[in-house]
Amino acid sequence: MSLAGPDSALSADPATVFDFVPATFPPTPTTELYLKKETVFSSFAIGLSPRDKALVAATQRAAAFGGLNDKSGVPAWKTIPSWYLIGAKDKIIPPKAERAMAERAGSTITEYGGGHLGLMSEPKTVTQEIERAARASAHR
């Protein structure tokens, strides 16, 4: 959650962004979180059709409340090259925060016009960047 930053749609009151299962407060580290349908439609699934947004909302996997604030281990980008796609319309991890993370990692950066779900909204762009990264990695 700290990576998303204050400009993220997720920085609002969690009760307005997530459904908690079980719906007991305060949540425990194992409480499951699901994005509210409104959050999926307005922020998470930008660039998708209403039908695809509904599909994303209905089929999302839960995130554990405790996992959203856990620190990760040693980042892979410290020892291997990385590439980063920045979605100019991303409301979950705003482009400014994405750029800061990508620059810190020394990533090869590409911006595209999509939101958070570039794999779905901009599959050609994402595929091209994966292929570009694979070619560059093969020549190292």
**Tokens 């999509």 sit on residue:** 114
- Please say if the pLDDT value at position 5 is more than 90: no
Domain assignment present for 13: yes
Contact 91, 11 (CB under 8 A): no
Cα(55)–Cα(40) distance, integer angstroms? 10
Domain assignment present for 54: yes
Which range marks the domain in which residue 60 is found? 9-68
Domain assignment present for 45: yes
Residues 63 and 81 occupy one common structural domain: no
Domain assignment present for 82: yes
Reduced to 3 states (helix: H, G, I; strand: E, B; else coil), residue 90 is: coil
Residues 21 and 62 occupy one common structural domain: yes
Tokens representing 103 are 């620059």
Q: Which residues contact 31 (CB under 8 A, 6 or more apart)?
A: 20, 21, 22, 24, 64, 65, 66
pLDDT tens, 7-44?
Answer: 999 998 989 999 999 998 888 899 999 999 999 999 99
pLDDT value of residue 110: 94
pLDDT value of residue 3: 72
Residues 56 and 107 occupy one common structural domain: no
What mean pLDDT is reported for the chain?
Answer: 92
Domain assignment present for 3: no
